[in-house]
């Protein structure tokens, strides 16, 4: 039995970051992980592998659609699916080994196995029980399905199965037009699948700024994705080689069916807390299965904390990382803090979609007096040169104070561009502050400045 200041359960972005920060702050730290590699869902079967496939399939798209225009002639590359999966697995390996290296560097013990908490102050892993002054639960989330749909990870797959299909399907049906559905739907559309997306609500990515989600759907349609919106999936019947989806259109209750070779279920994830023993400990949970915490990530049981996807808030790796760092600081006697009003969200399609702060619909609903500064990438020289002029930057600012309240970008590198606005918002900046900041030419970031200028006397290139 070993004794620690902190034991973190789970080594995803929340857990491993918490462990590293605890160690950096001088706490004797261990991290429990039952997978064969560190990094959790994000590194092993989520963010990182999907980005590898998005990158590879985007290169193919560029070769097929834009190379010849630039005078790069020759046959477009063909898809060697097995090699693409090998590349993806190598990327995973490099990243998970990177975390192992960081654990060694920071003298964090990796307790291999699945952890449980027999009592406050103790963590059991296999036959061993370890002592910990404090425990951070960072057990993440798991795939979930909807009634009538059983995931077999062969024909009816979650994002996990979709990252290792035997071959590129001819027909892919995606249930749910959220982040996973659209990212992985894009991958397979670029690789030649017919992709049909079925969404319960009337828009894609329903929580996004409505103007952006409308433009997003139009651009994805241009790339070959088909959408059936306002459709409630009733059931999926799968054989060994095919599946049939039955859905009802909500507007008239009419029933329809759709055949597909593969069905991707992307209707959300659920907190994962199985086997931790939280019930017996009396840890308070929400109705949605999340661990309840206070503003310092403490549960109702002394010495037990929780962060990331298993607590309230957006299920995003970077939200979990921020909570991991802040929780470590709290445990080290410092003042950990997360600004939940400035957490960006990004969809890594092409173009990318990124947002931070409030949407126009939210501002309207809250009765806020706001103004909008918009700038199209059509007016950005760099974007035009790179065949990336689809999309726009939209900044929402308070009408009287000019303070930035939210920003929504659809366009090239949106997921990187959003961060100058995040920094601005953290500093309580006005749109004018951004507009007065010199931006290098020619960069995509000039479109952000132009949108800020559009909140004032007007953009230059509009």
Q: Does 200 bind ligand NAD (CB under 6 A)?
A: yes
- Measured between alpha carbons, how far is 424 from 393 in angstroms, rounded to an integer? 15
- Are residues 435 and 453 in contact, defined by beta-carbon separation less than 8 angstroms? yes
Minimum Å distance from CB 200 to ligand NAD? 4
Q: How far, in Å, are 137, 340, 427 from residue 324 at the CA level?
A: 10, 14, 22
Which CB atom, from 113 or from 313, has the smaller least distance to ligand NAD?
313
Q: Which residue is nearest to ligand NAD (CB)?
A: 178
- Map residue 375 onto helix, strand or coil: strand
- Map residue 287 onto helix, strand or coil: coil
Picking from 379, 388, 319, the residue whose alpha carbon sits closest to that of residue 349 is 388
Cα torsion through 14, 41, 150, 262, rounded to 10: 140
- List CB contacts of 113: < 8 A, sequence separation 6 or more: 32, 34, 125, 126
Which CB atom, from 45 or from 451, has the smaller least distance to ligand NAD?
45
Which position has the token pair 């209750």? 253
Minimum Å distance from CB 417 to ligand NAD? 15
Query: Which region, judged by CB under 6 A, interacts with ligand NAD, from 179-187, 238-246, 286-294, 364-372?
Result: 179-187
Reduced 3-state DSSP string for 27-43:
CCEEEEECCCCCCHHHH
- List CB contacts of 17: < 8 A, sequence separation 6 or more: 320, 321, 324, 325
Which CB atom, from 316 or from 356, has the smaller least distance to ligand NAD?
316
Which CB atom, from 301 or from 343, has the smaller least distance to ligand NAD?
343
Minimum Å distance from CB 247 to ligand NAD? 7
Give bridge partners of residue 244 from the DSSP assignment.
237, 259
CA-only gyration radius of the chain, Å: 23
Q: How far, in Å, are 179, 296, 310, 432 from residue 337 at the CA level?
A: 27, 8, 18, 28
Which CB atom, from 422 or from 431, has the smaller least distance to ligand NAD?
422
Q: Which tokens go with 264?
A: 């991707």
- Are residues 450 and 375 in contact, defined by beta-carbon separation less than 8 angstroms? yes
Which CB atom, from 125 or from 157, has the smaller least distance to ligand NAD?
157
Minimum Å distance from CB 144 to ligand NAD? 8
Q: Which of 199, 321, 360, 390 binds ligand NAD (CB under 6 A)?
A: 199
Q: Which of 43, 117, 156, 180 binds ligand NAD (CB under 6 A)?
A: 180
The DSSP 8-state label assigned to residue 331 in this structure reads H
Which position has the token pair 């970008």? 409
Minimum Å distance from CB 4 to ligand NAD? 31
Which CB atom, from 233 or from 325, has the smaller least distance to ligand NAD?
233
Which position has the token pair 């995509």? 444
Minimum Å distance from CB 23 to ligand NAD? 27
Q: Does 413 bind ligand NAD (CB under 6 A)?
A: no
Q: Which of 44, 267, 380, 445 binds ligand NAD (CB under 6 A)?
A: 267
Minimum Å distance from CB 309 to ligand NAD? 8
Q: Does 347 bind ligand NAD (CB under 6 A)?
A: yes
Q: Does 348 bind ligand NAD (CB under 6 A)?
A: yes
Q: Does 232 bind ligand NAD (CB under 6 A)?
A: yes
Picking from 448, 233, 206, 447, the residue whose alpha carbon sits closest to that of residue 347 is 206
Selected catalytic residue, list 65, 337, 441, 461:
441
Q: Does 233 bind ligand NAD (CB under 6 A)?
A: yes
Which CB atom, from 232 or from 249, has the smaller least distance to ligand NAD?
232
- Measured between alpha carbons, how far is 347 from 217 in angstroms, rounded to an integer? 13
Total site size for ligand NAD, rule CB under 6 A: 26
- Map residue 360 onto helix, strand or coil: helix
Q: Does 258 bind ligand NAD (CB under 6 A)?
A: no
- Are residues 23 and 333 in contact, defined by beta-carbon separation less than 8 angstroms? no
Pairing between β-strand 243-249 and β-strand 255-260 as defined by DSSP bridges? antiparallel
- The contact pattern for ligand NAD, residues 103-142, with x = CB under 6 A and - = no contact, is ----------------------------------------
Minimum Å distance from CB 321 to ligand NAD? 12
Query: Which region, judged by CB under 6 A, interacts with ligand NAD, from 117-125, 176-184, 432-440, 445-453?
Result: 176-184
Q: Which of 63, 201, 372, 462 binds ligand NAD (CB under 6 A)?
A: 201
256 catalytic? Reply is no
Q: Does 249 bind ligand NAD (CB under 6 A)?
A: no
Q: Does 315 bind ligand NAD (CB under 6 A)?
A: yes
Interaxial angle between packed helices 47-65 and 179-190, expressed in degrees from 0 to 180 and rounded to the nearest 10 = 40
Q: Which of 19, 198, 421, 434 binds ligand NAD (CB under 6 A)?
A: 198
Q: Does 268 bind ligand NAD (CB under 6 A)?
A: yes
Q: Does 102 bind ligand NAD (CB under 6 A)?
A: no
Q: Does 146 bind ligand NAD (CB under 6 A)?
A: yes
Picking from 57, 8, 53, the residue whose alpha carbon sits closest to that of residue 33 is 8
List interacting residues with ligand NAD (CB under 6 A): 146, 175-181, 183, 198-201, 206, 232-233, 266-269, 315-316, 345-348
Known catalytic residues are 441
């Amino acid at each position: 039995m070993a004794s620690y200041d902190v034991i973190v359960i789970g080594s995803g972005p929340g857990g491993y970051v918490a462990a590293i920060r605890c160690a950096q702050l001088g706490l004797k730290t261990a991290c429990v992980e039952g997978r064969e590699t560190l990094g959790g869902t994000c590194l092993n079967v989520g963010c990182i592998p999907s980005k590898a496939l998005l990158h590879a399939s985007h290169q193919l798209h560029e070769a097929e659609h834009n190379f010849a225009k630039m005078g790069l002639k020759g046959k477009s590359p063909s898809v060697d699916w097995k090699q693409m999966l090998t590349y993806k697995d190598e990327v995973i390996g490099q990243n998970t080994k990177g975390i192992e290296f960081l654990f060694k560097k920071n003298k964090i013990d990796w307790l291999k196995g699945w952890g449980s908490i027999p009592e406050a102050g103790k963590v059991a892993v296999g036959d061993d029980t370890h002592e910990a002054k404090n425990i951070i639960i960072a057990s993440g989330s798991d795939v979930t399905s909807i009634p009538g749909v059983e995931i077999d990870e062969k024909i009816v797959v979650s994002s996990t199965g979709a990252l290792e299909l035997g071959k590129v399907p001819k027909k892919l049906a995606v249930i749910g037009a959220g982040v996973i559905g659209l990212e992985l739907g894009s991958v397979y559309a670029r690789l030649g699948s017919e992709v049909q997306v079925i969404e319960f609500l009337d828009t894609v990515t329903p929580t996004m700024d409505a103007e952006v989600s409308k433009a997003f759907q139009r651009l994805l349609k241009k790339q070959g994705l088909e959408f059936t919106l306002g459709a409630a999936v009733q059931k999926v019947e799968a054989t060994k080689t095919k599946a049939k989806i039955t859905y009802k259109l909500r507007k008239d209750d009419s029933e329809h069916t759709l055949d597909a070779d593969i069905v991707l279920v992307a209707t959300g994830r659920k907190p994962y807390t199985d086997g931790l023993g939280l019930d017996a400990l009396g840890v308070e949970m929400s109705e949605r299965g999340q661990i309840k915490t206070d503003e310092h990530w403490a549960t109702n049981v002394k010495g037990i904390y929780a962060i990331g996807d298993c607590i309230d808030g957006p299920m995003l790796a970077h939200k979990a990382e921020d909570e991991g760092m802040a929780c470590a600081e709290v445990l080290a006697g410092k003042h950990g803090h997360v600004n939940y009003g400035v957490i960006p969200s990004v969809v890594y399609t092409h173009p990318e979609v990124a947002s931070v702060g409030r949407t126009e619909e939210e501002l309207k609903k809250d009765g806020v007096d706001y103004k909008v500064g918009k700038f199209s990438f059509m007016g950005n020289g760099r974007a035009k040169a790179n065949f990336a002029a689809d999309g726009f930057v939209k900044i929402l600012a308070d009408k009287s104070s000019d303070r930035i309240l939210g920003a929504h970008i659809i366009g090239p590198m949106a997921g990187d561009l959003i961060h100058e606005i995040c920094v601005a918002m953290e500093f309580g900046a006005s749109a004018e502050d951004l507009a007065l900041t010199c931006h290098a030419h020619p960069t995509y970031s000039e479109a952000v400045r132009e949108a800020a200028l559009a909140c004032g006397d007007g953009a230059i290139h509009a």
